[in-house]
Structure 1
Amino acid sequence: MGLIVLQTDETLEGDMRRVLRDDPTPLYVSRIPSAPQVSSETLGAMSGDLKTAAGLLPDARPYRVVGYGCTSASAVIGSEKVQQIVQTACDVAHVTNPLRATIACAADLGISKLALVSPYVEEVNVPLRAAFAQAGLSTDAFGSFQEAEEAKVVRISAASLLEAGRRLGADSAVEGVFLSCTNLRTLDVIPRLSEALGKPVLSSNQALAWHMMRLNMHEC
Structure 2
Amino acid sequence: MLQAAASDLGTVNPDLFVFGCTSGGSLFGMDYDRKTCADLGELAGCPSMGVVTAAAAALDRAGARRLAVITPYIDDLTNAVATALAEGGREVVAAHGMGIHVNVALADPTPDEIVQFAADKLKGKQFDTLFVSCTNFRALEAKPALEAHFGVPVLTSNSAVIDGIRRRFEEAPAQATPPGRNGDTPRRRIR
- Is 1:66 aligned to residue 20 of structure 2? no
Unaligned runs of 5+ in 1: 1-48
Q: For residue 161 of structure 1, what is the amino acid of its counterpart? A: I
The answer to whether the Cα contact below 8 Å between 1:141 and 1:171 also exists between their aligned partners in 2 is no
CA distance in 1, matches of 2:14, 2:71: 35
Distance, in Å, in 1 between the alignment partners of 2:165 and 2:171 is 10
What SS class does the counterpart of residue 171 from structure 2 fall into? Answer: coil
Give the corresponding residue for 1:215.
168
- In the TM superposition, residue 214 of structure 1 has moved relative to its aligned partner by 0.7
Offset, 1:62: 6.0
**Structure 1 residue 99: Cα displacement:** 0.9
Q: How big is the shift at 1:188?
A: 2.0
Name the residue aligned to 2:3: 51
- Among the aligned pairs, what percent are the same residue? 22
Deviation at 1:155, TM superposition (A): 0.3
* Matched position secondary structure for 1:116: strand
**Paired residue secondary structure (1:143):** strand
Letter in 2 for 1:81: K
Match of 1:180 among 125, 129, 133: 133
- Amino acid of the structure 2 residue aligned with 1:54: A
Residues in 2 aligned to 1:106 and 1:116: alpha-carbon distance in whole angstroms: 12
Which structure 2 segments of 5+ residues have no match? 173-191
The match for 1:126 is 79
Displacement of 1:72: 0.4
| C-alpha distance in 2 between matches for 1:181 and 1:108 | 20
Alignment partner for residue 85 of structure 1, among 26, 31, 39? 39
Q: Which has the higher contact order (CA 8 A, sep 6+)?
A: 1
1:157 is aligned to 2:110: yes
What SS does structure 1 have at the residue aligned with 2:27? helix
C-alpha root-mean-square deviation of aligned residues, in Å? Answer: 2.0
> 2:3 is aligned with what amino acid?
K
Larger radius of gyration: 2
TM-score if structure 1 supplies the norm length?
0.69
Separation in 2, partners of 1:178, 1:200: 9
Q: TM-score, normalised by structure 2?
A: 0.79
Q: How many residue pairs are counted as aligned between the two chains?
A: 169
